[in-house]
Amino acid sequence: MHEPWIEGRFEEGVVTTTVEQAINWARQSSIWPMTFGLACCAIEMMAAGAGRFDMDRFGAGAFRATPRQADLMIVAGTVTYKMASRVRRLYNLMPDPKFVIAMGACTVGGGPYFKYGYHVVKGVDLVVPVDVYVPGCPPRPEALLEGLMRIQDKINGHRIAKNGSGKLNDELPIPHHSGYVSAPADGEPMREHQKVTS
Ligand code: SF4
């Protein structure tokens, strides 16, 4: 984990709020995804980057060929156990702050391979921390763009000033038109299939 560059070094104030807005605006308008695809969902990701859907409108069209220059990992496709360690290694090589979109049913939870796919990881969130899930098999490019906008929301909620306790005050705003789910009251995990069994 890298030391934060500017976050948490200053008290709340007019200057920090203004600088924060400028930094967040710059960051959310210049997301660089990694050039990286694992299966059929990657074709939809490529479509999202091409002329008709044009991810460049969001400043996110500069797909980088190295994780060291990327701040968004779009995991597009089936994650096999063989590939999982590579996915983690690529994630570790990305500089902070970094974000992950799990694109497609395979990546979200195993997808069509959930029951009989002995070789498929049942959700890439077992491998890297996921910020936004985009369901579908495959999701359409519009769905990926929606996920990208939710990542922009998250960047927008980033706070660089300390909060009262002196800790980082990094909030994820609730998406303004996607709704949200409440955690179950009994405290059970929401994704039963991700319980680790030995
Ligand atoms: S979710 Fe469907 S389209 Fe995407 S990688 Fe899996 S099988 Fe392919």
Atom nearest to 38 CA in ligand 1 = 5
Q: Which domain holds residue 76?
A: 32-162
Nearest CA to ligand 1 atom 8: 40
- The answer to whether residue 195 scores a pLDDT higher than 60 is no
The verdict on the CB of residue 103 being under 6 Å from ligand 1 is: no
pLDDT (0 to 100) of residue 6: 66
Task: Give me the number of domains the chain comprises.
Answer: 1
| pLDDT, tens only, 87-129 | 999 999 999 889 999 999 999 988 898 888 889 999 898 899 9
| Residue 25 counted as domain residue | no
pLDDT (0 to 100) of residue 179: 47
Percent of the residues in the chain that have a pLDDT greater than 90, as a whole number: 51
Residue 56: band (very low, low, confident or very high) from pLDDT cuts 50, 70, 90? very high
Query: How far, in Å, is the centroid of ligand 1 from the Cα of 50?
Result: 19
| Residue 190 counted as domain residue | no
pLDDT (0 to 100) of residue 20: 80
- The answer to whether residue 198 scores a pLDDT higher than 70 is no
| Residue 198 counted as domain residue | no
Mean pLDDT confidence for 64-86: 93
On average, the pLDDT of the chain sits at: 82
| Residue 158 counted as domain residue | yes
Atom nearest to 77 CA in ligand 1 = 5
Query: How far, in Å, is the centroid of ligand 1 from the Cα of 71?
Result: 23
The verdict on the CB of residue 147 being under 6 Å from ligand 1 is: no
More confident: 2 or 147: 147
The verdict on the CB of residue 77 being under 6 Å from ligand 1 is: yes
**Residue 147: which CATH number?**
3.40.50.12280
Give backbone dihedrals phi and psi of 148, rounded to 5 degrees, phi first.
Answer: -60, -40
- Beta bridge partners, 161, equal 10
> Ligand 1: which of 79, 80, 103, 106 to mutate, judged by most atoms within 8 Å of the beta carbon?
106
| Residue 71 counted as domain residue | yes
| pLDDT, tens only, 163-191 | 655 555 555 555 555 444 555 566 555 55
> Ligand 1: which of 137, 140, 144 to mutate, judged by most atoms within 8 Å of the beta carbon?
137
| Residue 169 counted as domain residue | no
- The answer to whether residue 17 scores a pLDDT higher than 90 is no
